[in-house]
Amino acid sequence: MPQVQPPPPTKAPNPRWMWVAALGSITVAAAVTYWLWRSTPEVRGAFEVGWKIGAGVLAIYATWLGARRISLSEREHQRQLAADDHNRRHAEALLTRQMAADEALRQDAIARQITDLSSKASEQLGSDRPSVRIGGLTDLERLAQSHPALRQTVVDRICAYLRASVTADDGESEWDVRETAQKILRRHLCSAIESTYWENISLNLRGAHLLDFDLRLSTTLSCDFDNASFDGETVFEGSLFGSASFVGAKFNGTCFWTKAEFTSHANFTECSFSDVAGFHATHFTHEAQFRLAQFNRVHFSNAIFDMRADFRQASFSGTSTYYGTVFEDFVDFYGSTSEVIEFGDTLFKGTADFRRVKFAPPTLFQGVKFDSTPMFDPPTTDTRNKFEFTQSFVRARESKYQSKSRGLPQGWTLDTTPGSKYREIIRSSADEDY
């Protein structure tokens, strides 16, 4: 669209017409004066009247001329405004097209750069030299840091590398490469450092072999660690999980989830823990599954379970503690086994199922409160559980709780003192075995 040029300005009245008007006015004045002079004996009066008539004609013409000039000036102003507006819109359209073309060129250059860097990184990750593989990982990190849309893709490629099997021939150099990959994940999943944090990331490390894996203070959308192997110390302290699955994972060293929070389903089914597992002050907002898990020493002190906690057929070969733990919903220890298990100031707001458990004596319940009557089985003739209740209570919601030890293990009953909100668990037999 060519730029619009303003038309030539409107011509003002020709000056000769001003002379014509002046001569006309003089002629009219002279004619009137002559006529009055012939018809009026007072010559002075005739000249005065003629002069006034001529002046009046000139005044009328001057007024018309001024109005004409104002009109022409206004029309010229409007014409100039219209031309300026048209040129402005034309310039904006040209600028927009130019910016679109520049953006297309920029995006094309970025796409070529991404393709080149990605291809180069893929080649580096497949190199036989560990230093070259580390370079490929750092190139992927820089690529993702510069282009947020590629961050999940880069994380997927790093996870794919960690999922690759490790052989005895790889040696220490391969663990250096894997340590670099793990550090990249830690560096960019830590939400405490906003400038380097990559949000809404999902991890797929199913079957990965990880050493000294550290994701403390991390925030992830979802995590899949099914059948993964964790050697050394594993740390998830203060982390925020979406859905998290550790089904069949093996923890061959200490592992900690202190003050972590699971905002969706947490699945630790069939996990094995060879050393200490710490879930201190961990918050499970959805169902937590530890069915068939194998624990050594585990601590759930001050942990909170908002929904069902499933420990069915789990085994605890060392000490397991639940001091200050809160179970808001049903907790199921059905068929679980334990060497030493301790409940102190634990709050069971839902039903607690301890049927078919095999707990090595004594099993301590100190300062425990049950909002619903727990479920216990009496000891069998072969294996005898020994439970010790100290200052532990069951909420009295029904009158039958006052007279029956429904669900309590053999040798224990509820205090029948009326008027209490909670009924204390007391011995019902003098048998020293209980």
* pTM exceeds 0.75, yes or no: no
pLDDT surpasses 60 at 78: yes
List own/partner pairs for 85-92 with CB under 8 A and 24 or more apart. 86/4, 87/3, 87/4, 90/1, 90/3, 90/4
- Backbone phi, then psi, for 78, in 5-degree steps? -65, -40
Distance CA 397, CA 106 (A): 71
What pLDDT is recorded for position 399?
44
| Alpha-carbon span 289 to 257, nearest angstrom | 15
- Greatest mean pLDDT among 59-73, 92-106, 113-127, 386-400 lies in 92-106
* Most confident among 105-114, 177-186, 372-381 (mean pLDDT): 177-186
Q: CB neighbours of 116 closer than 8 A, spacing ≥ 6?
A: none
Whether 428 has a pLDDT exceeding 50, the answer reads yes
Residues contacting 385, CB < 8 A, separation 6+: 357, 358, 359, 361, 363, 379, 409
Asked whether residue 406 carries a pLDDT value surpassing 70, the answer given is no
With bands split at pLDDT 50, 70 and 90, how would you rate the model's confidence at 104?
Answer: confident
Task: Tell me: pLDDT of 212 over 90.
Answer: yes
Tell me what pLDDT residue 364 has: 87
For residue 112, what is the DSSP state? H
Per-residue model confidence (pLDDT) at position 113: 65
For residue 401, the model assigns a pLDDT of 42
Confidence of residue 24 (pLDDT cuts 50, 70, 90): low
Q: Is pLDDT at 379 greater than 70 in this prediction? A: no
Percent of the chain residues past pLDDT 90, beyond the cut: 44
**Mean pLDDT, the chain, integer:** 83
Q: How does residue 378 score in pLDDT terms, banded at 50, 70 and 90?
A: low
pLDDT digits (tens, 9 = 90+) for 242-293: 999 999 999 999 999 999 999 999 999 999 999 999 999 999 999 999 999 9
Distance of CA 206 to the CA centre of its chain: 23
- For the stretch 316-343, pLDDT in tens is 999 999 999 999 999 999 999 988 899 9
CA distance 121 to 239: 30
Average confidence (pLDDT) over 211-228? 96
CA dihedral 375, 269, 168, 275 (to 10 degrees): -30
Lookup result for tokens 């013409």? 61
What pLDDT is recorded for position 381? 39
314 pLDDT above the threshold of 90: yes
* More confident: 425 or 29: 425
Helix count and strand count (H, E) for the chain: 5, 33
Token readout for 72 is 């022409």
